[in-house]
Amino acid sequence: MNKDKWERLQYVEARFKQFLRANLKPDHIFVDVGANVGKYTQLAARYLDEEEGGRVYAFEPNLKQAMKVSKKVSDSGRENKFVTVYNIALGSTTGVSDSHISESSTGSSTHYRLENNLATVKIMCVALKDILSDIDIIKIDTEGAEADVIRGAAPLLGANKPIAVLVECHPHKGTPTSTTLDLLVDCGFSRPNMTNEDGLPPREDSQKEHIIALKMPEAFIV
């Protein structure tokens, strides 16, 4: 990864993390879809309280990465009682799916076949509505499968309680970002605050676009 891309990634991570620090409450349920090595999982756990009902659910289809998240949670001691790590993918329906692992991005996997595939494995894919019944804040980064995740979570996202969805979109790998936006609006979210990988309004050639969609007017927007 070159310096420019690294700086862009750092900007986005800082933006999402700032939002979580400002809006997570001790009794919230936080869902980390595409947890990778668990940065957001661990951050959320520090702001939640098990005794007040706080919970973190992390989903990571890459077994190696899921094991890293589980180890970090276990090593943290205080967090492992209310953090659950699932080595499965989320999608629009429940069943078995192909996961394509990229050789150019360590730990990156997607439902969409890429030119630089390192391997293709069969994984369990589940609709979030079939696992959970409650969400407060959800972060989604699934390398092109964002819209499928939202479709599978639509009954939960359409309820009154979910207050924010943070999404990193990859339009060049799968579904156009406009489709993801429309799905969120259909679930009752305001027209999202969106930027590209530079933190600016999206361009036609944007590789990544970042969404913070809200239901609560009092939310702090970074």
Question: Is residue 219 a part of any domain in this protein?
Answer: no
CATH number of 75's domain? 3.40.50.150
pLDDT at 216: 60
pLDDT at 129: 95
Return d(Cα 20, Cα 43) in angstroms, integer: 8
Residue 219 confidence class, pLDDT cut points 50, 70, 90: very low
Let me know the angle formed at the C-alpha of 145 by 28 and 19, rounded to the nearest 5 degrees.
35
Give the predicted TM-score (pTM) of the model.
0.83
pLDDT at 96: 86
Cβ-contact 136, 161 below 8 angstroms: yes
Return d(Cα 68, Cα 121) in angstroms, integer: 19
Cβ-contact 109, 101 below 8 angstroms: yes
Which is more confident, 81 or 85? Answer: 85
Q: Name the percent of the chain lying above pLDDT 70.
A: 74
Question: Is residue 195 a part of any domain in this protein?
Answer: no
Task: Find the helix packing angle between 39-47 and 63-76, rounded to 10°.
Answer: 30
The closest alpha carbon to 199, from 21, 67, 10, 22, belongs to 10
Question: Is residue 34 a part of any domain in this protein?
Answer: yes
Query: Which whole-number Å values give the CA distances from 133 to 4, 22, 190, in the listed order?
Result: 40, 24, 22
Residues 6+ apart with CB under 8 A from 174: 110, 111, 112, 143, 144, 145, 146, 147
Question: Is residue 146 a part of any domain in this protein?
Answer: yes
Question: Is residue 197 a part of any domain in this protein?
Answer: no
Cβ-contact 102, 110 below 8 angstroms: yes
pLDDT at 98: 76
Number of compact structural domains in the chain: 1
Task: Give the max Cα distance, the chain.
Answer: 47
Question: Is residue 158 a part of any domain in this protein?
Answer: yes
pLDDT at 92: 93
Query: Domain range for residue 54?
Result: 3-190+202-214
Query: Which whole-number Å values give the CA distances from 76 to 19, 73, 79, 83, in the listed order?
Result: 23, 5, 6, 11
Strand 29-33 relative to strand 55-59, pairing = parallel
Question: Is residue 220 a part of any domain in this protein?
Answer: no
Mean pLDDT of the chain: 80
Question: Is residue 91 a part of any domain in this protein?
Answer: yes
